[in-house]
Amino acid sequence: MVLAGSNEVLVRWQVYARELSVRTAYATADFAFWSGGNVLLWPVGGTDLPAEIVVGLPAAWSLAAGSAPVSTSDDGREARFSVRDQDQAVDTPCLAGRLEEFEVAVAGRSHRFVEVGRAGLAPPQSYREDLTAVLRASAAVFGGEPPFARFTFLTLFGERGRGGLEHMDSAALVAPRTTFAPRSSYEDYLALVAHEYLHAWNVKRMRPREFEGYDLECENHTELLWVAEGFTAYLDDLLCLRAGVTTPARYLARLASHVDAMLVNPGRFRQSLAEASFDAWLLLYRPDESTRNATQNYYTNGALAAFVIDAAIREHSSGRHTLDDALRILWRDTYAVGRGYDHRDVCSAISAAAGTKLDDFVDGLTRGPFDPDLTSALGLFGLRLELVDDDTPRLGVRFDAQHTTIAAVQDGTPAERGGLCPGDEILAIDRLRVRPETFASIWTACAGAGRAVRVLLAREGLLREHDVVPDHPTSGKARITSVAEPNESQCAHRRAWLGAMPLGNSTASDD
């Protein structure tokens, strides 16, 4: 609306807010969450203009807007905050509702936790101490004064889902409200907190060169998400260990779970970590039936890359330096002098921490097929990777939920060799009718390794029969265990990496 006789333009818009995620918008009678980039309009050519954002509130609600100071009207029905430009508005996630809040102090800064949706499910007694310990360990990675005045976590506890979105001085988290038990699920949440918090340094400030002037109108590609996300994903679990909220055995079980994911991902031989980073906008967030065969995940495989790089730095520097030092060097040489980093900067920082040139090693991990030498890296700590054989005959497919319709066929498996395709609905095995709830037992009963079974399926409305020869997986579930008698050097490296706690039985359990 253009007002006559004035140079003002009034624009009204409505936003459909029905997606509960940290990057979109959601509003019900229970609470409202929105990410600024999802709901706010800014004048073209005026993205550096400041704004005051006014939010009308139902009775008894309050508003948290990232770490921005919010002022509320006397009757509590209107809250407002200011932003200096569009960037800050996009970087200020908002949560409104009947909010639960508490603060903890770490590294001389206030850290506010604002939560909705717990529905009476209580966290452990040690919740605040655990969060404090995790934040303290995280802030210590880069050391010094935290680069923000105050930090805020906005957490949406819901029915399901897990994820986070980092901002300059806040983070939005989604987690299941049942996350506080069992212990493994609680530690998963603490690792998410560590992950998003560490991003305040790694990626919100120290960032790939391509993200220096982020263009909000289009996808912004970089080959370096294995640093921004992979290094962060490696450290988030490790920070829980350093904080004392998990044990070495459970930490190693989480590392082994990344190995499990890698072993069923043939795409890592087709696409490098650098390419996976570059294609994030196209592939990672738009998965389809070919994802595992054609691509790789720069989070979990990036975490394994970070682990072998950490081990290499520790080995070459005789235990004097670690991946943390490489990150601090990268910070000092790029963000601290006002620029983004490129691949060479990352290699230089890693090499400087190691005290020897590791460029070829890093290139090999990130610019070609991904096949990290985990045996050597674990060997430094007197650990080894065991693959526990699975004696269930393998088919090599994933089904749609609640169906026997194939969602994906893994390359190099009996299903692929037998000509099965995504979209095929399996109806019978050796003439025995299968249903979602009986498939596993019928498959296991019929499928002896080396003997063909007859699969009846429907494809595009036509019945077909295929002979499939099951096999046993060449690699079963990964487990990281101690070698029988680690030597002195291995013990020293292990202590420096995993702390002084005894490793115990390294087949981790959920206790």
Binding site residues, Zn ion, CB under 5 A: 229
Instruction: Give me the least distance between CB of 303 and Zn ion, in Å please.
Output: 11
Instruction: Give me the least distance between CB of 200 and Zn ion, in Å please.
Output: 11
Which residue's CB is nearer to Zn ion, number 22 or number 420? Answer: 22
Report the residue number whose CB is nearest to Zn ion.
229
Q: By three-state DSSP, how is residue 352 classified?
A: helix
Which residue's CB is nearer to Zn ion, number 135 or number 378? Answer: 135
Which residue's CB is nearer to Zn ion, number 200 or number 252? Answer: 200
Instruction: Give me the least distance between CB of 234 and Zn ion, in Å please.
Output: 11
What angle do helix axes 323-333 and 343-354 make, rounded to 10 degrees?
130
Q: Spell out a b/e string for 97-136, using b for 16 or more CB atoms within 10 Å of the CB, else e.
A: beeeeeebebeebebbbbbbbbeeeebeeebeebbbbbbb
Which residue's CB is nearer to Zn ion, number 116 or number 303? Answer: 303
Q: What is the DSSP string of 433-462?
A: E--TTTHHHHHHHH--TTS-EEEEEEETTE
Which residue's CB is nearer to Zn ion, number 302 or number 414? Answer: 302
What angle do helix axes 248-263 and 300-316 make, rounded to 10 degrees?
120
**CA–CA separation, 302 vs 274, rounded Å?**
10
Instruction: Give me the least distance between CB of 193 and Zn ion, in Å please.
Output: 12
Instruction: Give me the least distance between CB of 370 and Zn ion, in Å please.
Output: 19
Q: By three-state DSSP, how is residue 188 classified?
A: helix
**CA–CA separation, 307 vs 377, rounded Å?**
8
> CB under 8 Å to 205, separation ≥6 — which residues?
147, 168, 331, 335
**CA–CA separation, 447 vs 211, rounded Å?**
51
**CA–CA separation, 411 vs 292, rounded Å?**
9
Instruction: Give me the least distance between CB of 47 and Zn ion, in Å please.
Output: 25
Instruction: Give me the least distance between CB of 171 and Zn ion, in Å please.
Output: 10
Instruction: Give me the least distance between CB of 297 and Zn ion, in Å please.
Output: 12
**CA–CA separation, 295 vs 442, rounded Å?**
32
Which residue's CB is nearer to Zn ion, number 225 or number 253? Answer: 225
> Which pairing describes strands 150-158 and 109-116: parallel, antiparallel, or unpaired?
parallel
Instruction: Give me the least distance between CB of 163 and Zn ion, in Å please.
Output: 9
Q: Which among 168, 245, 169 is positioned nearest to 207, based on CA atoms?
A: 168
Which residue's CB is nearer to Zn ion, number 130 or number 229? Answer: 229
**CA–CA separation, 53 vs 295, rounded Å?**
41
DSSP state of 389: P
**CA–CA separation, 506 vs 491, rounded Å?**
15
Rg (CA), the chain: 25
Residue 327 · residue 313 · CB < 8 Å: no
Which residue's CB is nearer to Zn ion, number 303 or number 378? Answer: 303
Which residue's CB is nearer to Zn ion, number 197 or number 497? Answer: 197
Instruction: Give me the least distance between CB of 215 and Zn ion, in Å please.
Output: 20
Which residue's CB is nearer to Zn ion, number 23 or number 128? Answer: 23
Which residue's CB is nearer to Zn ion, number 229 or number 279? Answer: 229
> Which pairing describes strands 25-27 and 31-34: parallel, antiparallel, or unpaired?
antiparallel
**CA–CA separation, 187 vs 93, rounded Å?**
25
Instruction: Give me the least distance between CB of 336 and Zn ion, in Å please.
Output: 22
Instruction: Give me the least distance between CB of 167 and Zn ion, in Å please.
Output: 12
- In sign, the C-alpha dihedral spanning 201, 204, 205, 208 is positive
Dihedral pair phi/psi, residue 179, rounded to 5°: -70, -15
**CA–CA separation, 448 vs 395, rounded Å?**
11
Which residue's CB is nearer to Zn ion, number 188 or number 229? Answer: 229
